[in-house]
A and B are shown apart, each in its own frame.
Chain A
Amino acid sequence: MRPRLARPSSGGAFEKGGTLEACSQSPLKQEPCRTGPTGKEPVHEPGSPAICARGLTLHYDKRTALEDVSFDVPAGAHVAVVGPNGAGKSTLLKAVAGLLPWTQGTLRVYGHEPRDHLCIAYVPQRAAVDWRFPVTVLDVVLMGRVHRRGPLRRMTRRDRALAEAAVQWVGLGPQAGRQIAELSGGEQQKMFLARALSQEAELVLLDEPLAGIDASSEVEILDLLDRLSGTTLLVALHDLGIAAKHFSLALLVRGRLLGFGAPEDVFTPENLQSAYGECLKMVRTADGTLVVQDTPCSRGAR
């Protein structure tokens, strides 16, 4: 039985009217994550949500990608971000990672501006990477430690130990010395997960981690994500069934926030119709599992 993250009792704050309280702002300017005496202590303001968005409006390529989005993600929650292609999933992840500025509203990560954070790991889509680059799995995982050292300083034993432990944890120990092009799609995704762990990230953002990988790798990656208790996850997905089965919260978007909360509360026929039109519906099987029925018109709609 896989350890599952308990659904946070205070989680899922989402109100269409935007009546949530304003995001709290920590007085700390630069957030050095986990830099206490043992290097393990989170120094975030107690009680601040992992992500706080209020009236967030984002533009990408001169068009409005997301408009007036408000939600709170509690620390440690595993959130699936779902919606059709072009719905603004990747844009939202990039904004939370501090890679994209937003036009209006407020966005805070653990009470701070996202771009002030060192403890956010962003895993891009696999297509965004040059897989012929002459680096090994361990080289890539060690890159997650570069900002801890700075120029002219060698990687410490702790850096190497953390990177090696992360590689082992995702099950890539035997492949640590292999060139990244030799990995399968699933192994490449696991490598990025290991890099996020070596960053000691408290918030991990994964953009379509299951795209283009085989079924067995998909199960392994979902298992790894399930085991990341204590780490806040925001994962862009296409598969609503996986979102319903493996994530404590779901965030449904299509240019605006259509629903945020427990998957069964979010994936209502009305919300799904707003997101996908008439082309997609959820069916609950006898054992209570939600199954997505994807009708042919959805491909056109996406």
Chain B
Amino acid sequence: MSLELVWQYLISPAFFHGAVTTLLITLYSLVFGVGVGVVIALLQDSQTRAGRTLALIYLWLFRGTPVLFQIIFIYNVLPTFGIRLSAMVSAVLALSLNEGAYMAEIIRSGMQAVKKGQRTAALALGMKPFAVLRHVVIPQATRMILPPIGNQMVGMLKLSALVSVVAVEELMLVANQTASSNFRYFEALTAAGIYYLVLTTIFMGVQALIERKLDPKKRRKGPRISLTERMLGTSRGAAVR
């Protein structure tokens, strides 16, 4: 057991790039995941039965199978249909599609949580439906879904480790490969663990900052979520996988 080696790994380019890749995968998946989530959320409330059925099938597929399965499936099975994607793109695609299924539910519940009376009052002032959405519903819904989305974000950072199975050069793969080359598992995995902790802690800090910015007088509608609760994922909005 060598803490010196842990430090070596921490400052090594390989581990650093692995961490950056992990971060990038997470951010891309978050952005696309929200996009997919919005689309599915809108589909769920669509006027056509086709739209609603499509949404339900999507949710059933992506919440009913393991994320690891989805990653491996997209990477290995799509080529048989002629779609050849790089490991990185497959990984982001799989994570985004999976995340979208959970985001859809979060977004929907946020929109529904905005009281109907707020919409009515806005309409009574002469606002068109889109303006009501833009100036009243979305601002309020956004504030409500930020805690669960923050949780999702932290969860995604951890899920990114799964894409190591399709050989994306992210943190987990780097740590594993380094360890199997010289059997120094403790040092390699500790270094990776430290990176993960640093990243998740930064994410939680950013989330807390954004929440406070949007809620300047800290007028919380719900109980304050302590750092411990955020880390353990026991607060409201934590997704069940």
Q: Do A and B come from one complex?
A: no
